[in-house]
Structure formats: structure tokens, C-alpha cells
A and B are shown apart, each in its own frame.
Chain A
Amino acid sequence: MAEFKKANSMGEWFDQRLGVVNFSKVMMTEYWIPKEINFLWAMGMILAVMFKLLLISGIFLLMYYKPDVNMAFDSVNYTIMQDVAYGWLFRHIHAVGASVIFLIIYIHMFTGIYYGSYKKGREMIWISGMLLFMLFSAEGFSGYMLPWGQMSYWAAYVITEIFGGIPVIGGDLVVWIRGNFYVADATLTRFFMLHVLLIPLAILGAIAFHFYALRFPHVNNESGEFFDYEEEAEKFKAGDKKGAKVIPFWPVFLSKDVFVLGVFLIFFFYLVFFHYGFAMDPINFDKADGLKTPAHIYPEWYFLWSYEVLRGWFFEIAGVSGKDLGLMAFGFANAIFLVMPWLDRSPMVKPANQRPYFKYWFWLMIADLMVLTEFGKLPPTGPNAWVGFGASLTFLVLFIALPFITKAEAKKVGGK
């Protein structure tokens, strides 16, 4: 190790010990992002900020929350909501934030699909992103149980019951997950642990991994164009800022992000203060009662599409019960997005609307997810059940057909 010179400034002192100059170059001023982007590229930063908001509000809720079936409900609805100064604010931010973060996750995810940002070297970005989606789903589900309201209880009951459909081990697995034969204190305390420690730790790790995965293939751009980042970066550094196809993360990219964030926050805080019913279901203000089922049980909106895929199969086909078919479809639906990079067999990286076949697939998929989401909430009676079945079947067919569609597309474009 070279000998330390006496530092002439605080900056130098830190640079000697931590290499801050180089670090800030790598992380900020010389971390290159394409210039040809729109506001959808700011969703990642919004997600990071939302996660921070959830973390901070969660810390304050943790100070007063009591994970015990006899105390949980009142600790939330009395102590936090009405006693603690601004406790209500943290709860509203936490509950609404948890719901809205999924909206942004979906926008972020479908942006990735639309622009083909999951292939040609970007597979790991996609996979780490889907991993985050799964972790956030688990985090949302475990957190929803904690206020110990009727919907907390019965959503937990119904969702854990799903595992009972797994052959052979199903029944024991449900009991193992719950720690009891029904959703009870043991269930609450273990989901509390998952929600406040294990899953957040995993999320922090996955976020770091997701950011790291962006480094090598670089961020995609609006037209899907591949260019030499080194060359464009040199251009930028040489002063040709207008001609370069890249911009530095700080301050250029971030200034746009922060503006989009500002607009988003107006919308977000409107929901937090004035329009929170969608995230804080009225039924959940009734204390959990294992002896009394609410008239309608439905999961939070962001799970509705996969819940409907599960529910859509309500009759027996070829000797397999509707319940088992639903479970298989549910498993398929939750795993299939993960292998998206390999289902899309066309090498083209372009916005969906510039792809002859894929554009139809993309918008059909969005429409189908919307139908599934809507019917996942409606009572599954009469014609609703058949719409649910149709949409669920459509979902499976869309993903099974995707490799063939994209292969045909590649052929057509290649032959041009």
C-alpha cells in the first residue's frame, strides 16, 4: 500500500480512504443512460422512492404494532390510527403505498415487455425484476394479514388453503405454513417476522442485484437501437453533449426522474389523504373472526388476475377436478413471466407497435389481464364464471402461442 499523503481537503481525506471520486464517477456522473427515453424510464426511480417510503413508514408502524391476535387490531386501529401523533399518516402511506407500488411495478414490467427490454443480453435484468415482483407479492400478502381485520384473516385463509391442492403433501403443507390447522396466532407471528425482516432483507438484496444486472447490457432505449456506449460516452465527455446518444445518470437522467416523481407524488398523496378506500378495504375494519365469513372474499387488486386464473376453472375436465386445473393454471401464470425472454423467439428489440405480430399479442395480453382483474373481484356466479374461464384459458393460450407467434414474426421480418 502506498503511503498516505496528508490530505488537503475533506474531500481528499475521504477519497484517500474510500475512493469517493472514482465511486461517484462509476455510480453517478459516468454511469451512462441512453438519451432517447420517455417518462416510463422513470418508473424504476419511482419504485425506489416508494420502497423507501414503505420502509420508513413501516419503521414507525413497527414501534406501536403488536403482533398478537388479541392486540393487533386495536394496536392498528386505535393506537396507531387515533392515538399516536401522525400514526394515521404513516399507516395511510404504508397501506396506499403498498397498493400503488404494484401499479408502478406493473407499468414498469409492461414497459419492459413493450420495448423488448428482456432479451439480447438483458435476460438477467428481467429475471431479477421478476424476482422482485415475487418478493413484493409475498411482502404484500404477509403485510395484509397484520391489521388482523376480516379481510386479513379470510384472504390469508383462502390463499394458504390454495397450497392444500398440491398433491400428497398439500394438507400437511397448509398446516405447516399456518403453524396451526386454521389461521391463528402462530400464523400471525410468523407472517409478521416474514413481513418485517426476512422478505425486506431479500428485497434489499434483490434490488442491489437488479441494479447490478443493468450495468453490463445497459439500459434499453425507446427505439431498441444498439450502439457503442464507450464511444458515445467519449463524445459526451469531449463536450458534444447534444450529439451524444447517452446522458450521465447524475444529474441529467435523475433530473428527469425527479420531475416525473414530483408529478407522481401529487397523485400519490391525493390517494393517501383523500381516496384510500381501494387500499384499505372497509371490511378490514371489522376485527378478524374465524367463525364468521364475510359475504365476499377477494384479494388485493394486484393479485386479482392470478386469483381469477385460479378460480376460472370451476368444472371437471377429463377426470381432473376444477380445483386441480385451477391450481395448475395458477402455477403456470405465476411462473410464466419469468421465462419471457425465452418465449419471445424473435431477435428483434423494438417497441411492440413496430413488430408485425407481437403488437397484437401484447395488447391482447393487456386486455386479458384487465378482464381477469375485473372478474377476479366480481362474485363468480352465472355468466361471470364463464367469462372468468374464457379469460383464464385465453391467458394460457396466449403464452403457449407466444413462441410460435414470435418465431413466425422473425421469419417474416427476416425475409423482407
Chain B
Amino acid sequence: MKEFKILAVIIALVGITYYGIEPYAHSVMHPEVAAADFTFKDVKNVDTSLAGNAENGKVLVEANCIACHAIESASHPQMMPNADAAAAYGVTPPDLSHAGRIYDKNYLANFIFDPVSAMHLQHKFGPDTGKTFPMPSYNWMTPQEIMDVVAYLQSIAPKVAEGKEGHKVTFEAACGRCHSMKYAGIEATTPTENLKTYMGATPPDLSQHIKSRGEHYLHSFINDPQVLLHGTAMPRVGLTEEAQEEVITYMEEIGDSKKAERETVGLWVMLYSVVFALFAFLWKRKIWEEVH
């Protein structure tokens, strides 16, 4: 009984200390922020309830977008190599093949209307910064026209494979223009030198971000970087919840590839430890019978 009392005291003291230096200290250093919003309801320049016409959207896209953007899935190849594109625009313009799938509809429509306000980058490309975002605002289009473009982009977005391969496609489309992922052999499509000028600093390699930032942080950070890192040069990219899940899953598949093995082996080792302790107890009892 006395031993249990001692154990209880130790567990209490260690527990209090642990609570203080781990959960509590971390909650002080990283306060909770507003929940991620995957409807992007703060941007409402375009009435997204309108039904888009993909046929008309195709015409609009071919007239307005493909001068800068490749759309491989609709057989519009890249106009120039990445290095030249980055030199011309500051950053390589995205291929729009996956845009209709990975970007939220509301976000995409409002992005076309005014990219800077959708990305929450007014501090970087606002009127008094002297800098302009490489893509112009298409605020002269009617809401119907914008929704037609969105409908077209949604119609041409190819389905991706299940599992790691598909996650990789989503990751590259969503993050790969600025971020490298060394452990997956992925290099940002924009050359480092251009990125440095365009972003102010080299965007980090994402190989270990699943560990250094954690799923919880990434969940709200990717949704809107300004919430957790006010003033950052990273734009809000407007991923749908599914696309963001795929990105985070991919980061885990690359950055913590042994997770499944760890959890299985962990269970077996703990089970073994219980058996070990049990036998140790029986042995101890037998030996101590003689001396008590």
C-alpha cells in the first residue's frame, strides 16, 4: 500500500510538471486561432450561385487565359520553359489543368475577379506598395462569365489516382511552384533566385513540415496563412478541404513514411512489455516468499 502511495505522489508531481511544460506552455506559445474556413465566405465579389456554362467558359479561357497559363489537360502546352516564365512573371504561372478540382469554387471565382484580395496579399500588392500582382483582375467580366470560366475549368480537371500518386499530383499543383520537397525529389518549378526576389525569402522545403508544423497547424495555415503568420508573403491558395487533405496526407507520406510501421511495432512491443512485467512479477513473488 505504501508503495502505491509513493507512486501516486510521483505520478502527481510528474504529471503536474508535464502539464505545465507541454500542453500548457504550448497553448501559451501557440494560441488557438479561428477555425479554417473552406467556403472562403469573406470574398463575395461574384455571385457564385449562378450556374456556369462550360461551352462559353471554353471560349473565354481561350481568349483570356492561355497567353500565360498552360492547360495540359485541354492540350494547351506551356508557352515557355519554367526559367523564362519565372523571369517574365516573377513566378511560374500555374498550369490550370487541376484548378477546377483543387480550388474552391467560390475562391476561384473571386480570385479571377480580384486575385490579390482573394489571396489576402493586400499588404504585398496593395495600391500603396508600388507592386502589382502578375495576373490582372478580371473584374470587367460579368459574374456569369466568371462562373462560365469556373465551370469550364471544373469540366476539364482530370481525375487523379487514389493514394500516394494522386496526392503527389495535387501537392505539385497546389504547392510545387514555390515549395520544394527534397525527400520526394520534387523541386519548385520557379528557380530559387526568382523566388527569393518574388517572395522576399526562399519558401521552405516541405519535406519535414508534417513534423515541424504538425497536422493541426497545417490545417489552418494552408487554409489562410495570414491567420497564423500575419504579414507572410505566402498567399491564401484557396484549396478545397479535400485537396488540402490530400496535400497534408502527401506531406505525411513523405515526411513520416514509417508512421504505420511505428504504430504496429509499438503495439507489439508494449504487449511484450506487459508480458515481461507479468513474468517478472511472478518471479519476484516466488523469490520474495522466502524472505518475507
Q: Do A and B interact with each other, yes or no?
A: yes
Chain A residues 241-287 with CB under 8 Å of chain B are: 241-242, 244, 247, 251-252, 255-256, 258-259, 261-263, 265-266, 269-270, 272-274, 277-278, 282-287
A251 partner residues in chain B, CB cutoff 8 A = 287
A138-146, A161-169, A369-377: which lies at the B interface? A369-377
Contact with A along B134-151 (1 / 0, CB 8 A): 000000000000000000
**Interface residues of B: mostly helix, strand, loop or mixed?**
helix
Contacting pair B6 A255 (CB below 8 A):
no
B16 partner residues in chain A, CB cutoff 8 A = 370
Contacting pair A82 B290 (CB below 8 A):
no
Q: Is A229 an interface residue (CB 8 A)?
A: no
Contacting pair B262 A88 (CB below 8 A):
yes
B267 partner residues in chain A, CB cutoff 8 A = 273
Find the B residue at minimum CB distance from A258: B280
Knowing A259-B280, A266-B270, the reply to whether A247 touches B211 (Cβ < 8 A) is: no
Contacting pair A277 B25 (CB below 8 A):
no
B258 partner residues in chain A, CB cutoff 8 A = 81-82, 88
Find the B residue at minimum CB distance from A274: B266
B280 partner residues in chain A, CB cutoff 8 A = 255, 258-259, 261-262
Q: Is A11 an interface residue (CB 8 A)?
A: no
Report B's interface with A, CB cutoff 8 A. Answer: 2-3, 6-7, 10, 13-14, 16-18, 20-22, 24-25, 28-29, 182-183, 204, 207-209, 211-214, 257-258, 261-263, 265-267, 269-270, 273-274, 276-281, 283-284, 287-288, 290-292
Contacting pair B273 A282 (CB below 8 A):
no
Find the B residue at minimum CB distance from A277: B22
Contact with B along A341-381 (1 / 0, CB 8 A): 00000000000000000000000001000100110011100
Report the bound CA distance from A385 to B6 in whole Å.
33
Q: Is A337 an interface residue (CB 8 A)?
A: no
Q: Is A89 an interface residue (CB 8 A)?
A: yes
30 of the cross-chain contacts (CB-CB < 8 Å) are A39-B6, A39-B7, A74-B182, A77-B183, A77-B211, A82-B257, A88-B262, A89-B262, A252-B287, A255-B287, A256-B288, A259-B283, A261-B280, A262-B273, A262-B277, A262-B281, A263-B277, A265-B277, A269-B273, A273-B262, A273-B263, A282-B212, A285-B212, A286-B204, A286-B212, A296-B29, A374-B24, A374-B25, A377-B25, A379-B28
Report the bound CA distance from A274 to B265 in whole Å.
11
Q: Is A48 an interface residue (CB 8 A)?
A: no
Q: Which 5 A-B pairs have the closest CB atoms?
A: A273-B266, A262-B277, A374-B20, A285-B212, A285-B211
Contact with B along A163-183 (1 / 0, CB 8 A): 000000000000000000000
Contact with B along A58-86 (1 / 0, CB 8 A): 00000000000000001001100110000
In whole Å, how far is A395's beta carbon from the nearest beta carbon of chain B?
A: 16
In whole Å, how far is B26's beta carbon from the nearest beta carbon of chain A?
A: 9
Report the bound CA distance from A39 to B8 in whole Å.
12
Report the bound CA distance from A103 to B24 in whole Å.
19
Contact among A263, A274, A373 for B17, CB-based, below 8 A? A373
Contacting pair B2 A38 (CB below 8 A):
yes
Contacting pair A269 B270 (CB below 8 A):
yes
Report the bound CA distance from A256 to B291 in whole Å.
12
Contact among B14, B17, B291 for A252, CB-based, below 8 A? B291
B6 partner residues in chain A, CB cutoff 8 A = 38-40
Report the bound CA distance from A92 to B284 in whole Å.
30
A89 partner residues in chain B, CB cutoff 8 A = 262, 265
Contacting pair B277 A266 (CB below 8 A):
yes
Find the A residue at minimum CB distance from B283: A255
Report the bound CA distance from A286 to B209 in whole Å.
8
Knowing A89-B265, A295-B29, the reply to whether A262 touches B276 (Cβ < 8 A) is: yes
Report the bound CA distance from A92 to B291 in whole Å.
40
Contacting pair B3 A379 (CB below 8 A):
no
Knowing A78-B183, A258-B280, A370-B17, the reply to whether A241 touches B291 (Cβ < 8 A) is: yes
In whole Å, how far is B252's beta carbon from the nearest beta carbon of chain A?
A: 12
B277 partner residues in chain A, CB cutoff 8 A = 259, 262-263, 265-266
Q: Is A218 an interface residue (CB 8 A)?
A: no
Contact among A255, A277, A379 for B284, CB-based, below 8 A? A255
Report the bound CA distance from A219 to B132 in whole Å.
77
Q: Is A107 an interface residue (CB 8 A)?
A: yes
Report the bound CA distance from A113 to B166 in whole Å.
60
Contacting pair B14 A378 (CB below 8 A):
no
Find the A residue at minimum CB distance from B217: A282
Report the bound CA distance from A81 to B256 in whole Å.
8
Report the bound CA distance from A281 to B278 in whole Å.
33
Contacting pair A379 B29 (CB below 8 A):
yes
Contacting pair B212 A255 (CB below 8 A):
no
Contacting pair A107 B290 (CB below 8 A):
no
A286 partner residues in chain B, CB cutoff 8 A = 204, 208, 212
Report the bound CA distance from A272 to B257 in whole Å.
17
Contacting pair A265 B265 (CB below 8 A):
no
Find the A residue at minimum CB distance from B21: A377
A103 partner residues in chain B, CB cutoff 8 A = 14
Contacting pair A265 B276 (CB below 8 A):
yes
A242 partner residues in chain B, CB cutoff 8 A = 290-292
Contacting pair A270 B212 (CB below 8 A):
no
Contacting pair A278 B18 (CB below 8 A):
yes
Report the bound CA distance from A321 to B17 in whole Å.
31
A188 partner residues in chain B, CB cutoff 8 A = none
Report the bound CA distance from A13 to B101 in whole Å.
79
Report the bound CA distance from A128 to B274 in whole Å.
34
Q: Is A405 an interface residue (CB 8 A)?
A: no
Contacting pair A366 B13 (CB below 8 A):
yes
Report the bound CA distance from A88 to B258 in whole Å.
8
Contacting pair A273 B269 (CB below 8 A):
yes
Find the B residue at minimum CB distance from A371: B20
B279 partner residues in chain A, CB cutoff 8 A = 262
Report the bound CA distance from A377 to B22 in whole Å.
9
In whole Å, how far is B125's beta carbon from the nearest beta carbon of chain A?
A: 24
Contacting pair A272 B266 (CB below 8 A):
yes
In whole Å, how far is B200's beta carbon from the nearest beta carbon of chain A?
A: 13
Contacting pair B269 A241 (CB below 8 A):
no
B28 partner residues in chain A, CB cutoff 8 A = 378-379
Q: Is A407 an interface residue (CB 8 A)?
A: no
A278 partner residues in chain B, CB cutoff 8 A = 18, 21-22
